[in-house]
Amino acid sequence: MASKLNKLVLASSNPGKLREISAVLAPLGIDVVPQSDLGIADAEEPFRTFIENALAKARHAARQAHLPALADDSGLCAHALGGEPGVHSARYATLAGANPGREEQDRRNNQKLVQELRDKEDFNAHYYCVIVLVRHAQDPEPVIAEGSWSGQIIAQPRGANGFGYDPHFLLPDLGLTAAELDPEQKNLISHRGKALRRLMARLREAR
């Protein structure tokens, strides 16, 4: 697959994901085009598992763009909350009919997460990411890779990098939050970075 894969559409409108995915795929010489550049709207994500949502997003983008498509579905899973916000991470604190900007949505999500954990004793959590690559919309053999990243939730945000829950996601071994890491360091150890490297390895095997 990799020898023929020169361009793909990224099934996301999230600028943070675009930066991270483009940086990791650059060594393969793959041109990553965000679906928003092609006028493709976000797909519905009605499923209860990350892999089902990622596959739905990839097939939607491939169908609209007539290109191979890559999608990730990722989220934060707090252990004391039974894995929530999980697949609802991006819209955890969304009110019916509300459509806040991305930064405001992140702020609300983090505020709700800290509130939900306020009376808990377990602050352990992990990020999870599954990445799906399809050659075309009906591809019967999607390439799938996953990664996870363990940490703890802290009440006070720290750091100006990253996005989503990164300012509240502490890495105890480093003493830093995900938002305090520089982008290169984050890509080496994050859930998305791990999943992308596994995807790259599978693409290289297919040459």
Q: What CA–CA distance (Å, rounded) separates 8 from 173?
A: 36
121's tokens: 């004793």
Q: Mapped to the 3 state alphabet, what secondary structure does 108-121 carry?
A: HHHHHHHHHCCCCC
Say whether 195 sits in a helix, a strand or coil. Answer: helix
Q: What CA–CA distance (Å, rounded) separates 198 from 5?
A: 16
To the query of whether residue 106 is one of the catalytic residues in this protein, the response is no
CA distances from 1 to 7, 30, 197 (A): 12, 12, 16
Of 114, 50, 45, 47, which is closest to residue 78 (Cα–Cα)? Answer: 114
Report DSSP state, residue 95: P
DSSP result, 49-62:
SHHHHHHHHHHHHH
Catalytic residue (one of 31, 42, 73, 122)? 73
Sorted by sequence, the CB contacts under 8 Å of residue 66 that are 6+ apart come out as none
The residues carrying an active-site annotation are 73
